[in-house]
Chain A
Amino acid sequence: MRLLLSNLILLLFSISVFAQSSTNITGIVTDQSEMPLIGVTVFVKGTTSGTVTDIDGSYSIEALSNATLVYSFIGMKTQEIPVNNQTLINVSLLESTTGLDEVVVIGYGKMSVKDLTSSITTVKSEDLVKTPSGNVMQSLQGKVAGLQVISSGAPGESPTIRLRGIGSYPGHGNEGPLYVVDGVFYDNIDFLNTADIESTSVLKDASAAAIYGVRAANGVVLIETKSGKRNQKAQINYNGYYGYQVAQNVLKMANAEQYTNMALESGSAADEQFILNAMQRYGRSRINPNVPNVNTDWYDEIMRTAAIQNHSLSVSGGNENTTYSIGTSFFTQEGVLNMKNEYERFNLRSKIDFQANEWFTIGGNIILSNSTKYEPESAAWNVAYFAVPIMPAYDELNTAASPTRYASAEDLGYRGGKNPFPTMDLSENRIRTKKVLANFYAKLDLIPKKLNFKTTYSQDFTSQEGRFVDLAYFVSTNFKRTDDSVQKNSQTTTNQTWDNILTYTDSFGGHNFTLMAGSSYRDETWNYLSATGLNFPSGLEENWYISKSKSKPSDSVNDDGRKQYGMSYFGRMSYNFNNKYLLYGTMRADGSSKYQEKWGYFPTVGAGWVISEENFMKDVEFIDFLKFRASWGKLGNNKIAASDGANSTNVVTTAIDGVLVSGTTTSSTYSSLKWEVTEETNFGVTTTLLANRLSVDADYYIRDTKNAVIDVTNPLIGGTVRKNVGEIRNSGFELALNWSDNITKDLKYSIGANVSTLKNEVRDLFGQPYIDGGQAEFRQRSIVGEPLLAFFGREVVGVYQNEAEVAADPVAVENGLAPGDLKYKDQNKDGKIDDDDRVVLGSYFPNFMYGANLGITYKNWEFTMNILGQTGNKILNRKRGELIWTNDGNLDADLAKNRWHGEGTSNKYPSSAGLRKGWNQKMSDYFVEDGSYFRIQNIQVAYNLKQKVVFGVKVPDARISFTADRPLTVFSYNGFNPEVENGIDTQTYPIPAVYTLGLNVNF
C-alpha cells in the first residue's frame, strides 16, 4: 500500500515538472587544462532526467529555463549552474583534491565519502599502475596508513598483507584480508591484472567491514574492475611496460680468506683439515698462500638480472542502455634466481551491463585467467648462504659427477655437498592455473530510484595442475639424487555465492536514508589428487609422466577434499539529517559449517557529525569541511581452519617382515573451536582546509581479538593444538595528509604523507602467564602485556675480552667460559645466568610505519615519487642461528670481519670457536636484529602527448613513462631484505629493484 502511495506521489511530481516549458541546453565540459571530459554526468537538479558527455566533452539536455544543472565526474568537484535562460553552457570542472565528492564502494552498495562514519582508504587506477608488479596489492605499499605490505620477490607470489596489526595467531594463512572483486570473495587476487582495476578500497575499521561479517576480521579490500560508461564512444587503450629486475642489497658473505681465518680459529681440527683439503685440490692463492685458490661469491653465482613486462589492451564504451568493457592482458616476470623460475599470465575479461527496460537491468562480468608459474628452488638461497667460498661451483676434477661436473664440499671433507646448482639446474616446479571468475546479476527497480532488488550469482572456478620434476644427479656419494621423480598434483576449487539484496533509499525533510537487507549463500569445495612416478626416461620432457615411470610408490598417492557451506543474513541502515548528523549501522548473522558452533552475529554502529555544516562554523573560513566520526563493530574470522572437534583416526604404514602393511593411529589432541571474534572501536576526523588544498584524515583505533585461537604446544610430545585461549589487542593512530596546489597554470604539485603507529599486545591468556611459540631453540613467547610471539631470550652485554675478565666473573668460571664468549645480563641479579634471565627481546611487528609521496606536473611532464619505511620491528637472523645444527658452513662478512679474535676486537660477536659453543648459541639478542628500513619505493617520470599532430596526422594521446621501483632501500639488518614476513629469516627471496619503460596510448 505504501509502495503504491509513494509511486503515486512520484508520478504526480513528475507530471508537475513536465507541465512547464523546457529548452534544449548544449555545451562542452572540460577540465582545468581545457581537455574535454568524457562521461561527465549532467542532470537537472531535483529530477531524474540526465545525460553524459560524449567523446568531445559535449552534451545536450532538456531543462526548464529556471532549473539548475548539476555536473559531476569522478575525481572532479561537482558543480551546479543555474540555467538562467542560457542555451549554451560550457563548464570547466575543477579537480577534486579532497575526494569528498566521491562515491566509494562499500559492501553491497556505494556511499558518498561525505557520509562515511568509518575509515576507508581508496587508491585509484592511476596510482596503482605505477608499480610494475603482478599483484595489485604490491602497489598499495606505503600508500594506506595502517596497511603493512610485505613484498615477495619471487615471481607470481603474493605479498603478505596485514591491516592494523595482527589480530589472529599467525602461521595458518589466517592473517590476510578478505578481497572482494566485483562482489566476489577471494583470499588471493594474484590472478588480477593491475591495469584492469578501477579502484581499490581498503575498509579498515570494523564498522566498514562488518557487513562482510565472518570473513572480515582482518580487514576487507574491495576491488572494482573497469567498466564502460553510458553514451561513450568506444575507447581503445593500450597500457604496457617492459623492464628489468635487479637484486638489491645483496648480502656480503665471508670471502675465502675470511672464511679460512674463521675455520682456523674455530679450534676444530676437522675444519682446519677441510681448508687443507681445499688447498690440495684447488691450489693456494697467490695473494695469500694460506688460503685456497678459490673465492666463490655464491649469491653472485646464483642470481641474474630478470625481465618483467606487462601489456594490457582494452576496449570500453557504451550507449544509452548498455556499457561494456572488454580487455586482455599479458604479464611475464622472471625471477632473479638463475633457474627456470618465472611467471606468465594471460587474462581476458568482459564486463557488460544492460538496461533491458526501465525496471530491469542485467549484467555479467567474466574474467579468465591462465597462468604458468615455475617456482624457485627456494632452498637455493639457504644453500648459497652456507656454501663455502673455498669451493668453485664446477669442478673439472670431479669426473665421477653426472650430468655436470659440479663441485661437492664432500670432496673437501664436509658432511654435505654445499652447492646449490644441482637442485637449481635439475628441478622444475611448474604450476599451471586456470581460473574463471563469472559474476551475473539482475536488478529489479521495484520503485524507481528508491527500492530495488538485486540478485547476484558468482562462481569462482580454479583448476591448478602442478608438475614437480626432480632429475637424478650424482656429485659425490652423499650429494646425489638417485631417482628421477615426477610428482603431479591436480587441485580444483569451486566457490559459489548467491546474494540477494533489497535496497531502499529515500529522503524527506532533511532526512536521508538508505536501508538494505540481504541474504547470501555460499559453498566452497576443494579437491586434491597427487601421485609420484620414479625413474622415467628422463631426457625428454615428453617422458615426464607417471605412466612412463618404472615405479610408482604407493605412499606417494594422495587425495584430499574439503567442502564448506555458509549462509548469511544481513542488513544496513545509513541515515543523515541535513548532511550534518550521520548514523550508520549494520548487522550480519553468519552461519558456517566449519565450526562446532554454527552461527555468529556481527553488529556494528557508527555516528558522524559534520561540524562544518553547523551555522556557527560558517565563519571559519579556512575550514571547508570537518567531520568527527566514531564507530564500533564486531567481526568474525573464518579463515581459522576448521577444527576437527574430535579425535581423528589416520592411516599409517610400516614394514612388518618385509611387507608393507597399514594400520591406524588415533590423535589424542584435537581442537574444538569457537568463533574467533574481533571487536573494534574507531574514532576519526576527516577535514579539508585552506580552500580544499589540504585534506586530513586521522583515526585512532582499538581492535581486540577475543577468543583468539592460539597454537598451544602439547606438553611431552610436542606439536601444537589450536585453542581459544587468548585476547589480543592492536591499537594505533593513523594520519593521512594531502596537500595539492597549482603554482601556475602549467605547474602543479601535490604532497602527501601518512603515518601509523601500532601497539600489539597480548591482553589475556585465560589464566596462563605465557604461551610458547616458535621453535624451541629460537623461542618466541606470548606473554600477557607483551606483543604476540615476542622473541624471548638472553640479553648480551658484551664479550669476555681476556682471561682476567673470565677469572673475575664467577658465572664465567662456573660455565667454563673463555675470552671470546658472550657475556649475558643477569636480569634477576641472582649471580647466575640461567633461564630465569630470559626477557622479551622485541617483536616482529613494526610500531611505526610511514609513507609519503610527491607529485609535480609541469606542462606535459609528470614526476612522482613515493617513499616509505618502518621502525620498531626485530628480525631473527636464523641464518646465523643455523650454526646450531651445522657449524661448518659459511657466514656473512659482517660477522666474519667483526668476530672477536683477540682483546678489543669485538664486544658484540663471539669468537669463531665461541660460535660453536652451546653457551653462545642460546637464544639471545645476538640473533635478534633491528628490522627498520627506509625505502624509495617508486620514482616515475612521464611525458604526456596530448592532441599532438605530427606531419599532419593526429597522434593518439599517449603517455610515456620511466619507472624505478624500489631503487633504494636502507637498513642495518644483516640479511638480504628487511621484509621478513614472520620475522624469522631463513631463506627470503631477495626483493629486486625494478626499472621499466612504459607506454599508455588511447586510440
Chain B
Amino acid sequence: MKLFKYSIQITLAAAAILFATACDDKLDEPAENIAITDSTDYSIAENMISPLIGLYAEFNNKGWEANPLISVRGDDVNAGGLGDQQDFAETDLYNYNKDFWMYNSAWEGEYRDVITSHSTMEQIQLYADKTGNQSLGDQYIAEAKTIRSWILFNISRTWGNILVPTSSDPTELLAADITSKNDVMQHISNQMDEAIPFLPDMNPNQRTDIRGGVTKYTALAIKALANLELKNYQAVADATSQIISSNKFSLEADFYELFKIPGKLNNENLLEMQYSDFGQASGDSKSYLFEFFGPQSWTPKVEGAGSGWGFWEPSLKYIKFMLDRGETVRLETSVLFTDRGISEIQKDPNYATLPAWVSNTTRSGDVINDYARALFASGKHYLPSDQLTPGRTTYGTNKNFTCIRYAEILLMHAEAITQGASSSSISADAAVNLVRERAGLTAISGVTNEQVMDEKFAELAMEWGTRFFDMVRLEKYNELSYEGRTFNADLIYLPYPQNQVDLLPVLKGSN
C-alpha cells in the first residue's frame, strides 16, 4: 500500500521535473523589436532608397551648436547673447576653450554624419549587390559621398588637421593617423571627382525621387570649395564653370524672400537642409533651432509668435561696410535693427544720418525691440511672423537652412579668375555683376580680387563663416582684428575638444 502511494508521488514529481527541462530551447528565441541589420532582405529593390533617406534625415537633423561654432569667428558677425554662453563669445574673441561643451558637441555631431554616410554607402552597396541595380546604387553612394565631403570640409576648415574615417566603424580611428588639412581638401576633391559621373545632372529642385537632394552640381560646388581652400584656383574655376555653363541655376530676384519660405528649394540653392511643419497647425514638425539666431525681443506682426535667443549679432563693422557701399536689400536682408543698435551706429559721426529705410520694423511688419544681449539680430535666419503656418509659434519653424547657393559659386568663380585662373564659362566681371545686379548695385568692370572679396563679404555674411575662412586663406589677419580683437596665424584652428584628445591621444598637439 505504502509502496503504491509513494509511486504516485514519485511519478508526479518525475513528470514535473522532466516536463520542466523541456523548456531549454526557448533560450534561442530572438529578441523583440530589434531589427538586426544582417537579417535585412537586400533583394527588395524599393528599399534601396531607405538608407539614403536615413542619411538625409541625419543630415537635416543638426544640433544647433555646430553651425554657430563653425561660423562665428568672421568680422561679419559677433556672438551676441551677452551674458550667456560666455565661452562662445570668447571663441568669437579668439580665446578658445577646448573644454567648452560646444566644441565637443559640434565635433561629435559632425562626425556622426560622416559615419552615417559610411554606413549608408555600405548598406546601399549590399542592396546593389543583391538587386543587381548597380547604377542606382552608384548614384546613391555618390550622394552619400557628397554629403560626407561637405561635412568633412566643415570639420577640417574649423579644426585643420583631422581624422578621416574610411568606414562606418569609428573604432578604426583609434589606430589611424592624422590627415593634414590640405590632404583632407584634396581627398574631398578626389571624392567629388569619383561621385560626379554618377549623380543626376539637374538642379536639386528638379529631382523627383528626393527633391532638394544632392546632384552633380552640389558635388562640383564642394569640389570648388575644397580647391579654394587649397588655393588651387584653376580647379575652382573649372568646377564653377561647369555649374555656370549648365544653366540650371539662377539667382533669385527677390533676395529678401530667398531666405524665407518662398526661397525653399529655390533655383539658386545647391544644397540645403530641409525642414517642414507639413502645413499643419500642430503635430509633426521637423525644424532647425533658428531661435538661436533670432532677436530676443520683438513685437511680431502675428501675435504669439516666439522670439529668439539673441545670439548671432551682425557686427558694426559689417553694417558700416554695407552702408558705405550704399547697399539696401542685402543689408536689409542680413540685419535686423533695434533702436538701440541704430543709435549705436549713429554715435559715429560719419553715420549720424542713416538711410530712411533703416528701421527696427522689418519689411514684413515685425518690430524688433531693444534687448540687452545684442544690438542687432541676423536677418538671414529670420522668418517673418506672418510666414509662420497659423498655429505654429516657434521662431523659424518651417524654414530651410541653406548650405550652398549659386551666388557663392559665381563669386568663387570670379575669385579664382582674379587669382589667375582661366574661365571656360563667364568672366569675373560677368559673375560679379550678376550678383551685384540682383543686389540693386551698378555693374563694375575690370573687377579685382579685392572687389570680389568685398562682394563675398556683402553677399555671404552671417552664412557659413565664408568671410572668416576667406580672410584666413588670404592671410588678411588685419581684417579679422576688429572691434578690439587681435588675430594671428596661431588662432586659425579651434583646439580639439579635450574629450576627443582623451579618447584619441593621436590628436594631441596635431593642430
* A665 CB within 8 Å of chain B: yes
Given A268-B82, A662-B53, A717-B112, A656-B284 contact (CB < 8 Å) = no
Tell me which residues across on chain B come within 8 A of A488, comparing CB atoms.
none
B54 near A521 (CB under 8 angstroms)? no
Q: List which A616-669 residues lie within 8 A (CB) of chain B.
A: 642, 644-650, 652-669
Among residues 431 to 486 in chain B, which have CB atoms less than 8 Å away from a CB atom of chain A? none
A502 interface contact, C-beta 8 A: yes
Top 9 A-B pairs ranked by shortest CB distance?
A663-B53, A654-B57, A718-B108, A663-B54, A655-B276, A918-B97, A668-B168, A551-B283, A270-B83
Nearest CB in chain A: distance from B29 CB, A:
5
Bound together, the chains give a CA A268 to CA B112 distance in angstroms of 36
Is B323 an interface residue, CB under 8 A from the partner?
no
Give the nearest-CB partner of B2 in chain A. Answer: A7
Partner of A359, one of B9, B118, B119, B497: B9
Q: Which of A535, A555, A653, A888 contacts B282 (CB 8 A)?
A: A535
- Chain B residues numbered 73-121 whose CB sits less than 8 Å from any CB in chain A: 81-87, 90, 95, 97, 99-101, 104-105, 107-108, 111-112, 114-116, 118-120
- Interface flag for A112 (CB, 8 Å): no
Partner of A658, one of B53, B170, B278, B309: B278
By the criterion CB–CB under 8 Å, are A567 and B23 in contact? yes
Task: Assess whether B307 is in contact with A478, with CB atoms less than 8 Å apart.
Answer: yes
Q: Which of A498, A534, A716 contacts B163 (CB 8 A)?
A: A716
Interface: A592 (CB within 8 A): yes
Contact between A446 and B13, CB atoms less than 8 A apart:
yes
Looking at the complex, which one of A669, A718, A916 makes contact with B169 (CB distance below 8 Å)? A669
Q: Is the CB of B6 within 8 A of A665?
A: no
Q: How far is the CB of A974 from chain B (nearest CB, A)?
A: 22
Residues of B near A102 (CB, < 8 A) are none
Nearest chain B CB to A828 CB, angstrom units:
15
B112-146, CB under 8 A of A: which get 1 and which 0?
A: 10111011101100000000000000000000000
From B33, B49, B108, A560 is in contact (CB under 8 Å) with: B33
Q: Which of the candidate stretches A14-22, A159-167, A879-887 sits at the interface with the other chain?
A: A879-887
- Check if B46 is an interface residue, CB within 8 A of chain A: no
Does A287 sit within 8 A of B, measured CB to CB?
Answer: no
Contact with A482, one of B5, B171, B282 (Cβ below 8 angstroms): B282
B279 at the A interface (CB under 8 A): yes
B50–A664 touching, CB < 8 Å: yes
List of A residues within 8 angstroms of B20 by Cβ: 498, 500, 519-521
The residue that A591 contacts in the complex, of B2, B27, B265, B393, with Cβ under 8 A, is: B27
Whether B99 pairs with A550 at a CB distance below 8 angstroms is no
Contact (Cβ within 8 A) A668 B58: no
Give min CB distance, B391 to chain A, whole Å: 8
Contact A647 to B284, CB < 8 A, known contacts A268-B83, A718-B112: no
Is B424 positioned at the interface, with any CB of A under 8 Å from its CB? no
Counting chain B CB atoms within 10 Å of each CB, which of A480, A663, A667 scores highest?
A663
Contact of B50 among A591, A663, A719 (CB under 8 A): A663
Q: Is the CB of B57 within 8 A of A474?
A: no
Q: Given A551-B282, A552-B283, A777-B99, are A656 and B90 also a contact pair (CB < 8 Å)? A: no
Contact A478 B306 (CB under 8 A): yes
Chain A residues with CB under 8 Å of B306's CB are: 477-478, 480
Chain A interface size range: 35 or more
Please name all residues of chain A whose beta carbon is closer than 8 Å to the beta carbon of B23 when the two chains form the complex: 521, 565, 567
A835 — nearest CB in chain B belongs to which residue? B498
In the bound complex, residues from chain B placing their C-beta under 8 Å from that of A953 are none
**Complex partner residue of B38 from A273, A521, A646, CB under 8 angstroms:** A646
Point out the residues of chain B lying under 8 angstroms from A266, CB to CB: 83
- Which of B13, B31, B87, B108 is in CB contact (< 8 Å) with A444? B13
Q: Which of B23, B105, B122, B391 has the most CB of A within 10 A?
A: B23
Q: Which residues of B contact A449 (CB under 8 A)?
A: none
- In the complex, which residues 705-720 of chain A have their Cβ closer than 8 Å to any Cβ of chain B? 713-719
Interface-facing stretch out of B192-200, B407-415, B500-508? B500-508
Residue among A551, A592, A657 having the largest count of chain B Cβ atoms under 10 Å: A657
Residue from the list A413, A455, A652, A777 in contact with B58, Cβ < 8 A: A652
Q: A535-B282, A666-B37 are in contact. Are A598 and B503 (CB under 8 A)?
A: no
Q: Does A554 contact B (CB under 8 A)?
A: yes
CB-based contact B33/A716 at 8 Å: no
Decide yes or no: A648 and B170 within 8 Å by CB, A4-B3, A271-B83, A593-B26 being known contacts.
no
The answer to whether A655 touches B278 (Cβ under 8 A) is: yes
B54 CB to nearest A CB, Å: 4
Interface CB pairs A-B, < 8 A, 17: A269-B82, A273-B372, A447-B6, A500-B20, A502-B13, A520-B20, A560-B32, A567-B24, A663-B51, A666-B37, A666-B120, A714-B170, A715-B173, A717-B170, A776-B101, A888-B83, A916-B83
- The answer on a CB contact under 8 Å between B82 and A884 is no
- Bound form: Cα–Cα A20–B84 in Å: 97
Cβ proximity bits A464-490 to B, threshold 8 Å, 1 near / 0 not? 000000000010011010110000000
A663 to B282, Cβ gap below 8 A?
no
Cβ < 8 Å to A, chain B residues 393-420: 393-394
Q: Does A772 have its Cβ within 8 Å of any Cβ on chain B? A: yes
Chain A residues, CB < 8 A from B491: none
Option from A4, A269, A477 in Cβ contact (under 8 Å) with B307 = A477
Docked-complex contact A650 and B13, CB < 8 angstroms? no
Bound complex: CA A884 to CA B103 (Å): 13
Inter-chain contacts of A563 with B (CB < 8 A): 29, 31-32
A554/B284 contact (C-beta < 8 A), A269-B82, A657-B274, A717-B115 known: yes
Question: Cβ of A453 and Cβ of B27 under 8 Å apart?
Answer: no
**A959 CB within 8 Å of chain B:** no
Please state if B9 and A716 are interface contacts (CB–CB under 8 Å): no
Judge whether A658 and B279 touch: CB under 8 Å: yes
Contact residues of B with A, CB < 8 Å?
2-3, 5-6, 9-10, 12-13, 16-17, 20-21, 23-24, 26-29, 31-38, 40, 49-58, 60-61, 81-87, 90, 95, 97, 99-101, 104-105, 107-108, 111-112, 114-116, 118-120, 122-123, 163, 165, 168-171, 173-174, 210-213, 264-265, 274-276, 278-284, 286, 291, 296-298, 300, 304-307, 309-310, 371-373, 391-394, 497-504
Q: A413, A550, A644, A666 — which one has the most chain B CB atoms within 10 A of its CB?
A: A666
Q: Does A395 contact B (CB under 8 A)?
A: no
Residues of chain A lying within 8 A (CB to CB) of residue B307: 477-478
Q: A271-B83, A455-B13, A649-B40 are in contact. List 17 more A-B contacts (CB 8 A).
A: A477-B298, A477-B307, A482-B393, A482-B394, A498-B20, A500-B13, A523-B26, A565-B27, A648-B37, A655-B60, A656-B53, A663-B53, A664-B54, A666-B37, A716-B170, A777-B99, A921-B87
Which A residues are CB-close (under 8 A) to B112?
Answer: 717-718
Q: List the A side residues contacting B265 at CB < 8 Å.
A: 657
Closest approach, in angstroms, between the C-beta of A720 and any C-beta of chain B? 11
Which residue of chain A has the shortest Cβ distance to B100 in the bound complex? A918
A2 within 8 A of B: no
Residue of A560, A591, A657, A772 touching B212 (CB-CB under 8 A): A657
Chain A residues in 8 Å Cβ range of B38:
646-647
Q: Does A3 contact B (CB under 8 A)?
A: yes
Tell me the minimal C-beta distance from A183 to chain B in angstroms. 15
A43 to B86: give the CA distance in the assembly, Å: 81
Minimum distance in angstroms from A767 CB to a CB of chain B = 12
Binary interface profile of A, 583-619, with partner B (CB < 8 Å = 1, else 0)? 0000000011100001000000000000000000000
Check if A791 is an interface residue, CB within 8 A of chain B: no
A271–B34 CA distance with the chains assembled, in angstroms = 50
- Kindly state whether residue A995 has any CB partner on chain B within 8 Å: no
Alpha-carbon distance between A535 and B280 when the two chains are bound, in angstroms: 13
A474-B304, A918-B97 known; A500-B279 Cβ under 8 A: no
B17 CB, min distance to chain A CBs, angstroms: 5
Name the A residues within 8 Å of B211 (CB-CB).
656-657
CB atoms of B54 and A567 under 8 A apart: no
Q: Considering the complex, which residues of chain A in the window 541-573 have a beta carbon less than 8 Å from any beta carbon of chain B?
A: 550-555, 559-563, 565-567, 569
Interface centre among A446, A500, A714, A718 (most CB of B within 10 A): A718
A415-B84, A593-B26 given as contacts; is B169 within 8 A of A668 (CB)? yes
